[in-house]
Amino acid sequence: MESQHHAILALMNELSRRNAEHAPKAEMEALLSTLSDLTARHFKEEEAYMAATGYPKLDVHQIIHRELSLKLQEHVRRFATGSGRLGADLLSFLNFWLLAHVNGSDRHAGRDSLGHSKERRLTPEKAPRAIASRPEGLRPVARRR
């Protein structure tokens, strides 16, 4: 899964770089489509891993994945009907998602599946509200030292 995180990061960087270079809209749509596909595959595989390892907060993580996927699709739809440039809201969402999800909750999931972390306070009931509480998505997860 770590290689998927690196691939997602590389794709996000490519999107940002090609946007700054004013790449054609069709190219940007293809990159966004690839990001959506890779994200869906990553979430599916990660949830299977969590289920296999008995991750205690799988239900919360599934809700987070679903909400992030819905937000990503919403941004992709807006891009498709827009100017062909990535707006600040989409770039902010991608940055947020990378920091909060990949660097935060996924790392916690890895520790939790190994029994190294205390139970998190986010519950299945709170997850959608936490994501909706910011235009970009989830609040970033503070790193534990």
Query: Is residue 86 included in any domain, yes or no?
Result: yes
Whose tokens are 């660097």? That residue is: 103
What pLDDT score does 6 carry?
A: 87
Query: Is residue 77 included in any domain, yes or no?
Result: yes
Cβ neighbours of residue 63 closer than 8 Å, sequence gap 6 or more: 124, 127, 128
Which contiguous run of DSSP H or E holds residue 124?
A: none
What pLDDT score does 114 carry?
A: 43
Query: Is residue 111 included in any domain, yes or no?
Result: yes
> Domain holding 16: CATH number?
1.20.120.50
**Per-residue pLDDT in tens (0 to 9) along the chain, 145 residues:** 788 888 988 999 999 999 999 999 999 999 999 999 999 999 999 999 999 999 999 999 899 899 989 999 999 999 999 989 998 888 888 888 777 766 655 555 544 444 444 434 444 444 444 444 444 443 333 333 3
* 138: its two tokens: 């989830």
Task: In whole angstroms, give the CA distance from residue 111 to residue 13.
Answer: 27
What pLDDT score does 101 carry?
A: 66
Query: Is residue 141 included in any domain, yes or no?
Result: no
Query: Is residue 52 included in any domain, yes or no?
Result: yes
* 69: its two tokens: 């996927």
Q: Is residue 34 a contact partner of residue 11, using CB atoms and an 8 Å limit?
A: yes
Domain count, the chain: 1
The domain of 21 spans 2-132
Task: In whole angstroms, give the CA distance from residue 98 to residue 12.
Answer: 9
Query: Is residue 140 included in any domain, yes or no?
Result: no
HSE value, Cβ hemisphere, 13 Å, CA-based, for 83: 6
What pLDDT score does 73 carry?
A: 93
What pLDDT score does 42 carry?
A: 92
* 105: its two tokens: 């909750």
